[in-house]
Structure formats: structure tokens, C-alpha cells
Amino acid sequence: MTAIKAYAASSKDADLKSLDIKRRDVKKDDVKIDILYCGVCHSDLHQVRNDWKNSQYPVVPGHEIIGKVLEVGDNVSDFKQGDLVGVGCMVDSCQTCSSCKDDLEQFCENGATMTYNSKDKHLGGHTFGGYSESIVVDKEFILTIPENLDAKAAAPLLCAGITTYSPLAHWGVKEGDKVGVIGLGGLGHMGIKFAHAMGAHTVMITTSPDKSEDAKKLGADEVLISKNEDEMKKHAGSFDFLLNTIPVGHDMNPYVNLLKRDATMVIVGAVEPLDPLHGGSLIMGRKSIAGSLIGGIRETQQMLDFCGEHNVVCDIEMIDIQNINEAYDRLQKSDVKYRFVIDMKSLKDS
Amino acid sequence: MTAIKAYAASSKDADLKSLDIKRRDVKKDDVKIDILYCGVCHSDLHQVRNDWKNSQYPVVPGHEIIGKVLEVGDNVSDFKQGDLVGVGCMVDSCQTCSSCKDDLEQFCENGATMTYNSKDKHLGGHTFGGYSESIVVDKEFILTIPENLDAKAAAPLLCAGITTYSPLAHWGVKEGDKVGVIGLGGLGHMGIKFAHAMGAHTVMITTSPDKSEDAKKLGADEVLISKNEDEMKKHAGSFDFLLNTIPVGHDMNPYVNLLKRDATMVIVGAVEPLDPLHGGSLIMGRKSIAGSLIGGIRETQQMLDFCGEHNVVCDIEMIDIQNINEAYDRLQKSDVKYRFVIDMKSLKDS
């Protein structure tokens, strides 16, 4: 075991502060990574504040990790010292259940080990995330970052990226489809970039007219203001696919009305009760509502390769770890375009 | 035009009574049918009582029509006098929109002509349904009833049958799948029969333990009492498909928890607001909720052929037209196993 520096919350209401944590020594299947950058996800904030009532303190958040390989175990041949790699939301899973065999470790029937706040099989206690100097992870959960991407801006691909790429890919979005991305935040801005890169006619659907200009810069072909009933009527029944990134409960009926016959709206943001849906809005047109959770490791690598090919990264604002509490306050007010990324040099130098 | 006998409601609160209506003369594409039997659908009751706020009086209900061909137009070659035929929920559609071209006339973008309470293109006013002596319908909306089926018991196939067959077929239910049918009424009893005939392991899901015996007689392999939390837990994450026939708003969350990863629950009954759904119940396991509405004409014929092959008909109770008001009262109390069918001889003889 090695003691390393990290940033952690010691309780629900505490600010994040410097704390020493322990990492396991490298075992035969492990890769040890020197963390260069770590994205700040809204889940980090939820977990620190125990919004989901399952937080274990101290919480060391961070599951959008980019770094360089420091050391590999004897069984590791795909990675070597100096490689640019990433770690996302998961660091382990059973590898034997039907979900794992289908490359959908996020649905591991025995429970995937999440990057933080999960049971630590090796050291006991719970896992610690990427707001730290280094991390040791099983080789099956290490991702290769295409060298042509800006490494800092690639960090949020590991969560915000795969969360939006996966449903677009799984539901087969293709060139010429009319795709709506609902909500423009960390997830929504990646939804637009991916839908655009896949060749879809991409429509940003938002309540805020002042987001129009940004949405178009990100790749939206059109902006639909959901509060404008006439506009909503004009687009009724015209979408092949809707990616719903709204992070809170809301009325889905107006969006379902936008779908074509047999089309699907996928929820990726709202892990909470949604307002009453009218059965008729699904029945008329055989429409579907579905949910989607990050993506499996194989698909995450496919997403990163797609990003390398299409030069897709996130729009980010760099911060030092010492400013994380201020960043959380701004994140809660949606005052970021569109993702904070921590320069981990600030932790190492402190 | 010919005047014929029918049974109609003259206003929201009026009992159905005998009334003379007019039918058009047979045109070149038409088939005139002597109505032998007509099923009583819950929609008939809704429409008579103006529950959907769109009823046009007088309402002559009935869209589960079985009869013999009396006369055909010059362009009709697929049907001849004496053939046993059926007419379901639709009697016409534009035949040119993308839904019609995809054999999904129920979603006709220019509005299908429903068997009753729709605009009558030929005579003006609105269409009159099957609680009548005869009907004249475009040949494209005439269905062939397999001769080996009991014609009386085949009547409800035209609505209850296709409403449950279509989603099972569209979502590819196959031998060995574990399929749950939620709710045991007119729709649910057909859902069990079809799922069973398709070779699925069929589970009746109901709040009422006293429906168990009947469900098994209809073809259910198992009965799951949805109020029993332990039982529900035991079946969690195990269903390949759920057919939800509950006719009113309800909490879908406990049912969604029964679905396997990537599986779908289809709503066919609740044309009203549903209780708040938790986004997480769809996100965890990439599950879907969808809706389905009757079926297209081609698929309705496929369903009838399937019924002929597997000897599937409805469980019915025959009534005379003079007892329709009493039947409606019983229908509202779910006091029927499982569908009333009117012997139209009672109208003709009156």
C-alpha cells in the first residue's frame, strides 16, 4: 500500500479538503496511473452531499480520470508505462454474469465496483475516486485515449461522453435522422456534439432562448424553445430520436409529442420521479420511453475511438483542486460551460 | 341508401334504443355485410357515455363485427357472397401516407375512419358501428375469418385480439420467453391466450388471487399476485416482455422492476395519465415503456390466421341486443368472462 494525497469530503456538509488515502500495490492484472486531469461530474456533488442517501465518508469523488501509466502488473500486455489512459465510472465487475459477458458491465448482476463510494474488494472499506494523485485499476477497466485529442478536454468523455454516446449508438442514430437533445448542460452539450458527428440533423431543445447561440456553435442545426407552443406544434411527430438530459423530474408529455411513430425518447439525467405521463401519448404512434446508464467498457473505448476520428472533446473550464468547493457552488447554479476539469498538478504541488 | 335497424344512444345518459339508420349503396370497392355477431368493447361504453369528450350522437357502437358477405362492388375480387368476414375498429384510411404504406392504418397521418363516431366520407355526418343489421365497408378493411373458428367467439378478436396480439408480435415474443400479462379482463384474457400460443412462459400478473384458477385455464403457466411484495421480489428482473392491460392510471414502477435488462413493457389499456414513474427504474437496466394501438389491417389478418392455426378464440357470453344496457352495467363492474357478444338475430327479429 502507498499513501497518496487526495481531496475528500468528510461529511455531508463539509467542504472538500486535503486528505491522505491509501492505494493498493500493483497486482498482476493491475495498472497504476498517475492522474493528470479529473473531470467534475454532477454525481460528484450529489455524492458529496449524500443526495442519494448512500454516501460513505470520506468521499473522494472523481470518475472522469485521465493519466499516464506508471506501472503495470505481470499479466498486463495492452498497456505500458507512459501510455495516455482513462478511467471512467467503473473500476471492476464480476466479469462472469450475462451483463458482463454482453459487455454491459454497468448492469453487472453482482454489482459493478464504481470508481468511488463502492466496496473496495482489495483493501476493504470503500473505493476512492480521481480527485487524487494516482489510482490502481484492473486492466479490463483501463481505456486508451486517442493521442490526437486534447487530454484535458477528453476527461469528461469518460462519463458525460459515454452517457450520451451510448443511447445514440444503441438506438442506431444515423446520418439524416432528426435528433433532439433536450437540455443544455454537461450531458446535453456532448449529446449535440455526438448527434452532429453522427450526421444527424441535430435540434437543441431548451427552455432558454439565450442558449441558442451556444447550441449552434456546439453543432446544433436548429434550436427549439420548448416553452413556445407554436414551435412545439410545428415539430410535433417529426423526431426520430430524443435524448433527454434534463437532470430533474419534469413533464415528458410535450417531448413525447415530438416523436415520430415508433420513435424513442431516452432519459439519461432524471434519476428521480417524473411527472405523470399520459398513456395515450405512447399508445398513439407506438412510441417508447427508455433509460440508459453510462455504457460498457467496450462501448466506452468505441466512443473514445469515435472521438479520436471525429475530433470530439468536451468544452471545459480548468480549475485547481483548491477551488473545488467554489466550482461545486457554480455547478449547482449550472454556471459552467460545460464541465470543470481539475488540473491534478495543483494537488501534487500543494 | 338503405334504411336499416340499429341500436343507438341518443345522448350521454340515455339507454341504447332501437333506431333506424342509413347505409350507403354498394360502390365499386365496397363489400356489404349481413352482421351476425358484434362484440361489446369497453370503448363502446366510453363512447356512449362521452368519457373521451368527442362523442357524436346518436352513437351506434360496435367494432368487433362478424358477418356474411351480402353483396360486393365491381372492383372486389377477394370476397364473394356468403364469405364469413370481419370488420374491426377501422373502415377506411387515406391509403397514401407513410403509416398506411407501412400497413399501419391505425396511425394514418390523415386520420383513419373509425368504424363509429368518425366522419362519414360517403354520407356526411358520422359513421355508425356494428350494433346494426348490416354495414358497407371498403374492401381494404374487410378481414377473412378462418372457417374453423367459432364465428361468435371470433368477434372480439377484431379489437381485443389485435390489441394484444400486435405488441406481442411487434416486440418479437417467441418460444421460451418469459412474458407477463398484467390485468385479467377482456384484453388480458386474450394476452394470455396469445402469449401461451406463441410458446412463451406466460405469467398472469394480477392484484386478485381469486383470478388464479381462471388464468391457468386460459393458458397461464404461473400467476403472480402483484400485491405480494415477496413474490414480486422473487420475479424482479426476470421478464422478457410485459403486456400491461390495466385500463386506468396506475403506478408502473413495480412492474418495470420485473423487466430484464433491455426489456419492454407495453401499455395497451391506460389511455389516461399514469402515476409518476421513477427515471431510475428505466435507467437501471436500459428498460423501455411503450404504447400500442390495435394493429394494421394486414397484421389483423395475420392475427386471424394465427388464431385459425392455433384455434384461439375469445371466451364470451352471448346476449340479445335488448339486454345491452344491462350488459354495460355489468361491463363497468368487470362482471363478464371475458367479452359480451351480441347475437344480431335478436335485432333482426325484433
Residue B136 burial (C-beta neighbours within 10 Å; 0-12, 13-18, 19+):
buried
Q: Is residue B296 part of a domain?
A: no
| Residue A301 included in any domain | no
Q: Do B279 and A99 touch (CB under 8 A)?
A: no
The residue written with cell numbers 448492469 in the block is: A107
B21 in Cβ contact with B9 (< 8 Å): no
**Given an 8 Å threshold on Cβ–Cβ distance, is A289 in contact with B289?**
yes
Residue B170: list chain A partners with CB under 8 A.
Answer: 286
Does the beta carbon of B271 lie under 8 angstroms from any beta carbon of chain A?
yes
Is residue A170 located within the same domain as residue A139? Answer: no
Nearest residue, CB atoms, A288 vs list B249, B270, B289:
B289
What is the nearest CA distance from A188 to chain B, expressed in angstroms?
17
Residues of A with Cβ-Cβ distance to B264 under 8 angstroms: 288
Q: State the Cα–Cα distance between residues A125 and A78, nearest whole angstrom.
A: 29
Domain of A280, CATH number, reads: 3.40.50.720
Please report which confidence band the pLDDT of residue B271 belongs to, taking 50, 70 and 90 as the band edges: confident
Q: Which amino acid type is present at position B66?
A: I
B54 close contact with A: CB closer than 8 A = no
Q: Which of B187, B244, B282 to mutate to test the interface with A (most CBs of A within 10 A)?
A: B282
* A258 near B CB under 8 A: no
Measure CB to CB from residue B99 to each of A261, A274, A293 and give the nearest one: A261
Q: Are the Cβ atoms of B269 and A276 closer than 8 angstroms?
A: no
- Radius of gyration (C-alpha) of chain B in whole angstroms: 20
Domain boundary among B259, B291, B323: B291
Predicted confidence at residue A38, as pLDDT, reads 98
B91 in Cβ contact with B161 (< 8 Å): no
Q: How far is B103 from chain A (nearest CA, A)?
A: 13
Indicate if B144 and B204 belong to the same structural domain: no
Helix (H) or strand (E) holding A224, with range, is strand A222-225
The CB density around residue B78, as the number of other CB atoms within 10 Å, is: 12
- Does the beta carbon of B278 lie under 8 angstroms from any beta carbon of chain A? yes
Asked if B290 reaches chain A (Cβ–Cβ under 8 Å), the answer is yes
User: For A291, which of B268, B279, B290 is closest by C-beta distance?
Assistant: B279
pLDDT in the model for residue B87:
98
Does pLDDT of B88 surpass 90? yes
Domain tally for chain A?
Answer: 2
pLDDT above 90 (res B340): yes
One domain, residues A147 and A168: no
> How confident is the model at residue B259, as a pLDDT?
98
Q: Is residue A55 part of a domain?
A: yes
Q: In terms of C-beta density within 10 A (0-12 exposed, 13-18 middle, 19 or more buried), how is residue A288 classed?
A: buried
Domain identity same for B44 and B116: yes
Q: Does A287 touch chain B (CB under 8 A)?
A: yes
A275 contacts in chain B (CB < 8 Å): 276
B93 in contact with A at a CB cutoff of 8 Å? no
> Does residue B19 sit at the A interface (CB-CB below 8 Å)?
no
* Range in A246-250, A259-263, B162-166, B339-343 the model is least confident about: A246-250
| B297 found inside a domain | no
User: Grid coordinates representing A263?
Assistant: 420513435
Q: Give the pLDDT band of residue B57 (cuts 50, 70, 90).
A: very high
Q: Does B292 touch chain A (CB under 8 A)?
A: yes
What does the pLDDT read at residue A278? 93
- Cβ <8 Å between B286 and A99: no
Which residue in A269, A274, A287 is closest to B277 by CB distance? A274
pLDDT in tens, B177-228: 999 999 999 999 999 999 999 999 999 999 989 999 999 999 999 999 999 9
Mutate to test the interface with B, among A104, A282, A294 (most CBs of B within 10 A): A282
Same domain, A330 and A188: no
Q: Which residue has the cell 414513474?
A: B277
Closest residue in B to A244 (Cα–Cα): B279
Give residue A206's pLDDT.
Answer: 96
B286 — contact with chain A (CB < 8 Å)? yes
Q: Which residue in chain A is spatially nearest to B265 when comparing CA positions?
A: A288
What ipTM was predicted for this assembly? 0.94
A288 touches chain B (CB under 8 A): yes
Asked if A280 and B272 come within 8 Å (Cβ–Cβ), the reply is yes
Helix (H, G, I), strand (E, B) or coil at A132: strand
Amino acid A88 reads G
Distance CA A184, CA A220 (A): 11
Question: Do B208 and B140 fall into the same domain?
Answer: no
Contact assignment for B286 to A289 by CB distance below 8 Å: no
The x, y and z cell numbers of residue B61, run together, are: 357502437
Write out the three cell numbers for B44: 363502446
Query: Cβ contacts of residue B333 below 8 Å, gap of 6+?
Result: none
User: Residue B104: its chain A contacts at CB < 8 A?
Assistant: 261, 286
Distance, CA of A337 to CA of B263 (rounded, Å): 36
Q: Is the pLDDT of residue B350 over 90?
A: no
DSSP B214: H
pLDDT in tens, B125-148: 999 999 999 999 999 999 999 999
Amino acid identity for residue A343 in this structure: D
Q: What are phi and psi of B332, to 5 degrees?
A: -65, -25
CA dist B55 and B52 (Å) reads: 7
Each of the 350 residues of chain A gets a pLDDT tens digit; together they read 899 999 999 999 999 999 999 999 999 999 999 999 999 999 999 999 999 899 999 999 999 999 999 999 999 999 999 999 999 999 999 999 999 999 999 999 999 999 999 999 999 999 999 999 999 999 999 999 999 999 999 999 999 999 999 999 999 999 999 999 999 999 999 999 999 999 999 999 999 899 999 999 999 999 999 999 999 999 999 999 999 999 889 999 999 999 999 999 999 998 889 999 999 999 999 999 999 999 999 999 999 999 999 999 999 999 999 999 999 999 999 899 999 999 999 999 88
Any idea what the CATH number is for the domain that residue A82 is in?
3.90.180.10
Residue A309 lies in a domain: no
Is the CB of A99 less than 8 angstroms away from the CB of B271? no
Identify whether A214 is part of a domain: yes
What would the mean pLDDT of B245-272 be, rounded to a whole number? 95
* B285 lies within 8 A of chain A by CB: yes
- Residues in chain A with CB shorter than 8 Å from the CB of B284 are 107, 291, 293
Asked if residue A239 lies in contact with residue A138, where contact means CB atoms within 8 angstroms, the answer is no
A276 touches chain B (CB under 8 A): yes
- Tens digits of per-residue pLDDT, B296-316? 999 999 999 999 999 999 999
**What local confidence, expressed as pLDDT, does residue A270 receive?**
87
CA distances from A203 to A19, A259, B280 (A): 44, 13, 25
Give yes or no: residues B167 and B258 share one domain: yes
Residue A297 inside a domain? The answer is: no
Residues with Cβ within 8 Å of residue B332, at least 6 apart in sequence: B45
Same domain, A110 and A186: no
Question: For the residues B331-341, what does the mean pLDDT come to?
Answer: 93
A261 interfacial to chain B (CB closer than 8 Å)? yes
Same domain membership, residue A166 and residue A125: no
pLDDT score recorded for residue A271: 85
Task: Round to whole Å and give the CA distance between A162 and A150.
Answer: 17
- Residue A264 distance to chain B (closest CA, Å): 9
Type of residue at A101: K
Contacts with B270 from chain A: Cβ below 8 Å:
279
- One domain for residues B280 and B202: yes
Whether the pLDDT of residue B174 is over 90: the answer is yes
The answer to whether residues B136 and B210 belong to one domain is no
Angle CA(B266)–CA(B268)–CA(B274) in degrees, nearest 5? 80
Of B272, B283, B284, the CB nearest to A279: B272
pLDDT of residue B270: 87
Domain range enclosing B341? 2-158+315-348
Q: Is residue A302 part of a domain?
A: no
Same domain for B152 and B179, yes or no, is no
Q: Which three cell numbers stand for residue B294?
A: 390495435
